[in-house]
Amino acid sequence: MNAAVSVLRPAPGNAATHPELTDALRATVSTKSATALALLRAAVAEFGTQGELAFANSFGAEDMVLTDLILSNALPITVFSLDTGRLPAETYSLIGEVERRYGTKLEIYFPDAGAVETFVRSHGINAFYDSVELRKACCGVRKMEPLRRALAGRKAWITGLRAAQSVTRAGLPVREFDSANGLEKLNPLSDWTEAEVWAYIRINEVPYNALHDQFYPSIGCAPCTRAIAVGEDVRAGRWWWENPETKECGLHVKEA
Ligand code: SF4
């Protein structure tokens, strides 16, 4: 393997994705897992078992923890995903792996084909690089509209957001009212650290996106995600050409 390739594909051993599994870390993860599972069970009891409660799975590391908690325990929570049409090949591989491992088919929502065609014909295939407005418009067509359909009729949704992920998520509560979408929003991993997420994945041998071992801590659409350098913020690889304050796709932004 030449030097250029080894930079692009570092060997597994990335300290972020392979934390040292000390007794203290195992104990913390065990406690927090039990708390998260209890929260999920309480949510089922509160909101119902007929699709009123749904988990938005984007297949990031945090979402794989929740995927495992929900599907391993056969909780009656709908697991859905948004396929923007621009996801990395590694994410599609992971979706297939999840379906095989847990013996299920996921509820996948696609963008409206006509809306995507209109956007691309008006602004170009990679218009998201041209301005924040066009980037948000692309997220609107490929993510926001499908999300509205995915959440229609639900009473609550679950996300894998963590407070420590970015400046835009500081102070994230475990539960909040999502006024933009008009339903409760639960963030069971809000106080988890990155090391705890990865410890859960290692201990429980949960499948995860191969890009994480190539220094992609946060993974979204392929053209809007890059690897990060040591010391960079974990969200630095998302829409890296924008200011940190603008870097949300709209899925998790509160109304002013
Ligand atoms: S992340 Fe990029 S490609 Fe994906 S919907 Fe947003 S702007 Fe479009």
Distances (CA, A) of 161 to 23, 43, 75: 26, 17, 20
* 40 CB within 6 A, ligand 1: no
Catalytic choice (139, 221, 224, 249): 249
C-beta neighbour count of 202 within 10 angstroms? 17
From the CA of 220, give the closest atom in ligand 1.
1
- In this structure, of 52-61, 97-106, 198-207, 247-256, the range with the lowest mean pLDDT score is 247-256
Determine what percent of the chain is predicted with pLDDT higher than 90. Answer: 73
Give me 49's structure tokens. 């078992």
Domain 3-246 of CATH type 3.40.50.620: yes
- Residue 10 vs residue 19, higher pLDDT: 19
**According to the model, what pLDDT value does residue 233 have?**
77
**According to the model, what pLDDT value does residue 170 have?**
73
From the CA of 86, give the closest atom in ligand 1.
3
Query: What is the rounded average pLDDT of the residues 234-255?
Result: 68
3-class secondary structure, 91: helix
∠ CA 110-97-240, rounded to 5°: 60
From the CA of 141, give the closest atom in ligand 1.
5
What tens digit of pLDDT does each residue of 122-141 get? 999 999 999 999 999 999 99
Measure 156 CA to ligand 1 centroid, in angstroms: 25
Q: pLDDT-derived band of residue 5, with 50, 70 and 90 as boundaries?
A: very low
Helix axes 61-72 and 194-204, enclosed angle (nearest 10): 50
**Cα of 67 vs its chain's centroid, Å:** 11
Task: Give the helix/strand (H/E) hosting 81.
Answer: strand 78-82
**According to the model, what pLDDT value does residue 122 have?**
98
Measure 47 CA to ligand 1 centroid, in angstroms: 31
Task: Give the helix/strand (H/E) hosting 43.
Answer: helix 23-47
* 138 CB within 6 A, ligand 1: yes
What tens digit of pLDDT does each residue of 152-191 get? 999 999 999 999 876 777 788 999 999 999 999 999 999 9
pTM attached to this predicted model: 0.88
Measure 224 CA to ligand 1 centroid, in angstroms: 6
CA distance 190 to 252: 13
